Structure 1
C-alpha cells in the first residue's frame, strides 16, 4: 500500500510509542489518557498502513516484531523532538515529582547512591529514584526503549547511540576478617589463600575477557582484574584458589567474618566495608589495572532538561570517589593492612 505521510495521523505514533514502552494496551491507554479500545483501534490502523503485525499478544505482554524494534528509536526521537518544539523544556528540581530510573551494580549502589540520595533530599525532595540491577537485564535494550534514564558501570565499548562521561576510577585490593593478620602481603602468602570474587553474570555465554556484550555495548562482568591475577601466577608452582564466585557483593562481609576466606574487591567498596565490619584491607602483591566507572545515557536524551539535571547530580554524587582517585598511588605500593579502626581514624 502506498501511504502519503502528509495525511498520516501522528496520534498513531503516539499510541505506538506508548505500547512499545509499556508492552500493554491497558497501561498504554492509561499513560496517554485514552480508552483501551482506542489504543486497539489505533494499532489496527497502524498494522493496515504499515503491513506488519507490529505487536504480538503473549502471556507476558505485547511483544514487538522486528519491524517495531527497528522503528521504535526513530519514532521516539521524532516524538520527543515534537514535544520539545511545542513545549520548551522547563525543569525545577525542587518542585518536581518526576521519577528517574537508573541501572547500577550493588557496588555502585553502596559507594555512590548514599551521596546521591543526600543531594536529592536537599535539591529535589519530591523526586523519586528507581534503581535497577544492571546484572540480569539487557541494559542496551532498556536504554534504547527509554526504560532507563542512565546507567553507571565499567564499559569498554560504547556505541554512538549512547552518550558517556567518566565518574571515577578504582583498583583492586584484598579484604579479610580482622581476626587474620598477614602483615605485608607477599606473593607467597597470597598464593596459599582461598579467595572470593564477584562475577555479575556468572557463566553467561556472552562474557568475553571479563565483559558481557549486548547490542554493541560492552560492560564489565567480572569485578576483579582477572588478567593481572592470572598473569602474576603464570608458570608458578602454586596460585591462590578462587574458592567462591558470587553474583553480588552484599553477602561478602558475613562470609568473610571469622573465616579463612578472603576477597578481591574494588578499593572504594573495601574502604566502606572496613569501616562498618570487622574486616581488614590489604594491598595486593601485584599491580592491577585502573577500572574507569562511567555514566551512560541514550544520546537522544541529550539536551532534555530533566535528563541533563539527572546526569549532573550523578556526577556530583561521584565527586568524593573521584577526589580519592589517587589515594592508592603511594611511594610504598604494598602498605600495611588497614583495619576497621585505622580506616575510621583516617576518615
Structure 2
C-alpha cells in the first residue's frame, strides 16, 4: 500500500471489518471468511504498513494511532469503490448484499421478522446486519455508508437524510391481568400506588432526563417510560412515583410485570403481543398522550441506490403486513 501497484482491495476490506467489529471472529463472520484468513490478511497489512495496527485487549482488538488515521481514509474510500463496482443495478434473486439496519429491540421483535421473511423469499442470498440504535451515532454511520437505514422515532432531520413514515403507535400502561389496577378506575392515584419499570434504552439518557437527544443535527427520540413527564403529572397532584426496576431492553419488561405488581409504559403494539404471550393486561393512560411515529431514515444520496431502495420498499411492505395481523 506504500505503492499503488501493490495495493490489495481485499486487505482494505479486512482492515475496515476488523476496525468496525473490533475482533477477528466477528470480522470473519461478516466477510464470510475463516479466522485464519483474517489473521493472515492482518499479518500482510502489518508487514506492508510497518505498524501493529491492532492490539488485542480484554474486550477485543484496539486500533493503534496509525490504524485510526488510516480508517479515516479507508472506510469512505472502500464504500465508494464497492458502490462503483456494484453499478446502478440490483437483482434481489442473485445479490449477496448484507443490509445494515439500525433499530431497537422493540422493532427487531416485531417488524423485522416480517422483513426477514420477505428477504428470505425474494432475496435468498442476502442477509441482514441488525445494529442497536441506542449504541450508534446514526448520522455518522449513514454518512459513511456503514448503515443502509435506521428505524426509530426521529424529530428534526438534516436535509441530507430522508425520513419515511412506517407506522404510528401510542403508549399504554401494561400490567398483570389480575393486577389491582387492571380493573376499575385508572388514574394518577394508581400510577403513584404501584412501582414502575423504567425503560431507558440508551446510556445517554438519565432516569430523570428527557427522552430525546440531538445527534449531529438529528433529533432522536427513544421509546422510554419518559420519567420526567410522568413525575411532572404526579407532582402537580402532590403525588410521587416509585421505581421498581430500570431496564435497558423493552423485551425484558413483560416477564417482570407477570411476576410482580410493577407496571410499565410501553408502545401499544408491543403490549398487544405481550398480552397474547403472557397473562397481562393494558390500560390507556389517564392523561393526554399523543401518538408517536416510527420512521425509516436513509441517506438522500446513498439511499437512492437500487439495493437500498429495494430494502426501503420491503420495510414499508413489512410494516403494513405486520399491522394487518392485529
Smaller-chain TM-score bracket: 0.7 to 0.9
The match for 2:15 is 19
Q: CA deviation at 1:258?
A: 4.1
The match for 1:5 is none
TM-score scaled to structure 1, two decimals? 0.72
In the alignment, structure 1 residue 91 sits paired with structure 2 residue 86: no
- Contact 1:162–1:298 (Cα < 8 Å) also in 2: yes
- Contact 1:142–1:148 (Cα < 8 Å) also in 2: yes
Q: What do residues 124-171 of structure 1 show as CA deviations (whole Å, max 9, x unaligned)?
A: 233222222222344444444433322211123433443322212222
Structure 1 window deviating more from structure 2 (148-157 vs 307-316): it is 148-157
In the alignment, structure 1 residue 249 sits paired with structure 2 residue 250: yes
Which residues of 2 match residues 278-297 of structure 1 at below 5 A?
278-297=279-298
Judged with a 3 Å threshold, the aligned counterparts in structure 2 of structure 1 residues 242 and 68 are, in CA distance, closer, same or farther, namely: same
Supply the distance in 2 between the matched residues of 1:142 and 1:296 (Cα, whole angstroms): 12
The match for 1:124 is 123
Supply the distance in 1 between the matched residues of 2:106 and 2:245 (Cα, whole angstroms): 18
- Contact 1:173–1:281 (Cα < 8 Å) also in 2: yes
Supply the distance in 2 between the matched residues of 1:260 and 1:37 (Cα, whole angstroms): 57
Which residues of 2 match residues 104-253 of structure 1 at below 5 A?
104-180=103-179, 181-202=182-203, 204=205, 209-221=210-222, 223-226=224-227, 228-253=229-254
Q: For structure 1, which runs of at least 5 residues remain unmatched after alignment?
A: 1-7, 45-52, 325-346
TM-score scaled to structure 2, two decimals? 0.76
The match for 1:79 is 81
Judged with a 3 Å threshold, the aligned counterparts in structure 2 of structure 1 residues 64 and 182 are, in CA distance, closer, same or farther, namely: farther
In proportion to residue count, which structure has more helix? 2
Supply the distance in 1 between the matched residues of 2:41 and 2:8 (Cα, whole angstroms): 16
Judged with a 3 Å threshold, the aligned counterparts in structure 2 of structure 1 residues 226 and 136 are, in CA distance, closer, same or farther, namely: same
Q: What do residues 3-22 of structure 1 show as CA deviations (whole Å, max 9, x unaligned)?
A: xxxxx959869566763454
Which has more radius of gyration? 1
Q: For structure 2, which runs of at least 5 residues remain unmatched after alignment?
A: none
Root mean square deviation, CA, Å: 3.7
What is the aligned length? 304
